[in-house]
Amino acid sequence: MKIEDARVIVASPGRNYVTLKIVTDGGIYGIGDATLNGRELAVASYLSEHVVPLLIGREAMNIEDTWQLLYRSAYWRRGPVTMAAIAAVDMALWDIKGKELGTPVWNLLGGRCRDGLLVYSHASGRSVDQTIEQVHTLIAAGYRAVRVQCLVPGLEAMYGVPRADGAGDGKGLPFVENDWSSQAYLRFVPTLFAAVRDAVGPKPALLHDAHHRLTPTQAGWLGKRLEDFQLFWLEDAVPAEWQDGYKILRHHTTTPLAVGEVFNTIFDCDRLVRNGWVDYIRAAPVHAGGITHLRKIADYAAPHHVKIGCHGAGDLSPVTMAAAAHFGIATYNAAIQEHGEHSAATHRLFPHHWSVTDGYLQPGDAPGLGVDIDEDLAGQLPYERAYLPVTRLEDGTVGDW
């Protein structure tokens, strides 16, 4: 079965998504997600200019060979643009293989090894009371795990929390700069978790994302103070470019640590996993080379007691959610999956068989990945330039997003 055509579809049902559709000579097609939030057209161009010409005429069933060809032949290996492009091809080829064989991708990955994949959703309030209300609403809707974020008193806007006008992060906004104070944040977060634990009791899993904004010693201070509230994880406490930061952090707290939504390859995970500096890797199928490469990361992490909890914010498309669902149901050390919100228009654009029931993600039984794209609708939803906000510290220097 040869690849006859491959096209890149960019559409914005409220935010931009880049999708690759690969069509074979027998008519079977597969789709893959290539969305890189805020830099979408770089991947779209990498795909259409450099990858698609290599795909035409290739055997669609040889996924590993195509993966290796795209990874090695570029010479310029790794990086978010390259790996998102390879991921899209990889997902689309798994989708095609499943359809050709008449079986869901999870079956090709070894079959189910759990009943459902635990998901977490987001409670994100502008006050502690509002945040607690949202946690209660999610628990009432069946969620067993909730990421808790709350606007720090004194700040106007903050990652993961709706703005005063109700808008979210990077949703068609012009370029925005927000004020940030790590001191105010550090003072506030332990009081937030004391209030939330008090309100919901010991059972629900609570998570928190520090979004790469702390130094190792600041993060150690915070992790220590959160220990009594037994978080499922503290995410991205420090940026991971300098991985020894996690070594320092690890020795200051027993709060479980998660990192890696910006990771692209197994090499980003290597030292953290090998040294036992983190508990969870957050790499997602779309940003870490697809199902094929994520499986290798998971297998490398498993004997080191490191589990996988894939990034799944709303800027990762329902195609990635499908890939993550198939991966997670069939991968022993997949522990949890983020379930970000998608707009109604996004669900219409990407009809899918995956679902969240009773706090667990189910991939469904449709052949392939069980997700599609409505190309007519995509044609009516043109790309809209959008940027994630950045932060300015109290003295005016640029901070981390």
DSSP helix/strand/coil, 206: strand
Residue among 87, 286, 313, 330 that touches ligand KDG (CB under 6 A): 313
- Count residues binding ligand KDG (CB under 6 A): 10
Question: Considering CB distances under 5 to 8 angstroms, the limit depending on partner class, which of ligand KDG, Mg ion, none binds residue 338?
Answer: ligand KDG
* Piece of 3-11, 50-58, 93-101, 309-317 that binds ligand KDG (CB under 6 A): 309-317
Residue 40 contacts residue 9 (beta carbons within 8 Å) = no
Phi, psi torsion values for 142, nearest 5 degrees:
110, -10
342 touches ligand KDG by CB under 6 A: no
Of residues 275, 199, 268, 196, the one with CA closest to residue 239: 268
315 touches ligand KDG by CB under 6 A: yes
* Piece of 19-27, 203-211, 353-361, 362-370 that binds Mg ion (CB under 5 A): 203-211
Question: Considering CB distances under 5 to 8 angstroms, the limit depending on partner class, which of ligand KDG, Mg ion, none binds residue 391?
Answer: none
Region 22-41 residues binding ligand KDG, contact defined as CB under 6 A: 37
* Piece of 52-60, 101-109, 247-255, 308-316 that binds ligand KDG (CB under 6 A): 308-316
* Rounded-to-integer distance, Cα 352 and Cα 318, Å: 7
* Rounded-to-integer distance, Cα 357 and Cα 337, Å: 13
DSSP helix/strand/coil, 222: helix
Q: What minimum distance in Å lies between the beta carbon of 159 and Mg ion?
A: 8
Residue among 261, 268, 279, 372 that touches ligand KDG (CB under 6 A): 261
Region 133-172 residues binding ligand KDG, contact defined as CB under 6 A: 159
259 touches ligand KDG by CB under 6 A: no
Residue among 197, 211, 250, 287 that touches ligand KDG (CB under 6 A): 211
Distance, CA of 200 to chain centre: 26
338 touches ligand KDG by CB under 6 A: yes
* C-alpha dist (Å) from residue 254 to 127, 225, 228, 271: 28, 10, 10, 19
Residue among 40, 95, 209, 315 that touches Mg ion (CB under 5 A): 209
Residues assigned a catalytic role: 159, 211
* Rounded-to-integer distance, Cα 120 and Cα 126, Å: 20
Region 190-209 residues binding ligand KDG, contact defined as CB under 6 A: 209
* Rounded-to-integer distance, Cα 93 and Cα 313, Å: 23
Pairing of strands 355-357, 390-392: unpaired
DSSP 179: E
Q: Is 221 exposed, middle or buried (0-12, 13-18, 19+ CB in 10 A)?
A: middle
Region 69-108 residues binding ligand KDG, contact defined as CB under 6 A: none
* Rounded-to-integer distance, Cα 178 and Cα 401, Å: 9
**Contact set with Mg ion (CB under 5 A):** 209, 261
**Contact set with ligand KDG (CB under 6 A):** 37, 159, 209, 211, 261, 311, 313, 315, 338, 340
